[in-house]
A and B are shown apart, each in its own frame.
Chain A
């Protein structure tokens, strides 16, 4: 297993570009997925079964089908349906956001439901309405508990963004495959990609554990 450093040097600019796009895809999808996920989570917690049903179906669908299938559906189905033509990056962001929203929704719901019901009762008994009790008492406590599982979800999302290579979004994995295709080399492109993913996910988990510690001392 001799490494062809010259080929790696040649492909370095592409890996840099790919890494930047991977980061971009991930950040966009994390943000959109979280916002959308909060909304879905709230919907699922609605008392009225008729209101919560569509949110339940959404969560079941996106957690119960492969992300690859979802990406293909969005890329070849949803995006052309709306914009007439497709676009790999756009489709990747949409599919990753929709998918992670389902997981975020469940994290959100579990976080809120993990708070002792005495907290809500104490807040209400003091005259707070439901929204005030949520905002000042329940959510601040729930968010703290949601950070570790959300962090896991973000890490999964970074890794899953590699599936976007399938629909020719020119992220990290796309360039890895391009290099493999051009030079029939295996170790150089794939180990490089693996290493870069590792750096990304590891940095994120460092960042999150620091945030967690910061919140814990408060």
Chain B
């Protein structure tokens, strides 16, 4: 019997899944077991579209189709969380298994806090995530830095600090991520700053870090993060859908070291990006200048897992007068005010911005400032963001008595 906190090597017992899976195929094996045994009604995962730069979210209800979703797509820059709200009724009336990267898991928690998804009906199979690369950047990088036609690449992976490609004639080629990123290629800017490498708020956290010895490359490292996850793992192992063995202690140590190194790298990038923004007025000036190119397409709002209001303030004519160009900065101020405490740095608002405004950088910079001030970390559990509950009469008296202009006395 597996229990919360356990760390195991796991692999699929199906040769078909093993042949297409990224590591041990434990993720796909577990998803298939859950679907076959009606533990869930459907699976939300990601499959390859026209090529490996095209990650397509997909709903699977036929277990036979699950192997289409096996394997990791590192150019899959999409966020699955909001799809659950938008297209699956927030999983209110269905039990759903979802493969989640750190940002997907964080987005689901934030949506759950706002009653937009039902976590009780979700089975979250987490995958460790070192980062993802935008398709356009990836193809450019492969052409310019690797000297390879991106259409000749049959597999890409991020391993041991390298971006590695395999071409159709079997050649492997790897270049260090540091080198690529210093030259402006590599992972998305939000991924560089990301510090959710092992998604422990999911039911299971699966990855390749820490798989050593004869199981290297053939097993998936699974950390059990909840009772639900323990139950699934135990049942699937008992039924023979997957095989498990205790993780090698040396492997556990290595995994811990890699995770720590990634967190340090995340801090380094945060430092670089946030310092580049400057402070105070200088930062505001930069943000306003960049945002002045906005064409009000609403893609940032549409794709943000924090935005869910039926009546969006950006559409109130007294706040943002319609038809006015350049778009009044109030449009962006409203987003900062409403989202910054809970931003999970998923990058969607930047990824999908047709004007290439660095939206997630600004929001993430504000979020980390607020985290420092109020001690609230979004996306990791069900704790609500800091809200100030104010008695209006008492508040007005306090303001006039003290001459303070601090409307909500949150620094008490």
**Is this pair of chains taken from one and the same complex?**
no
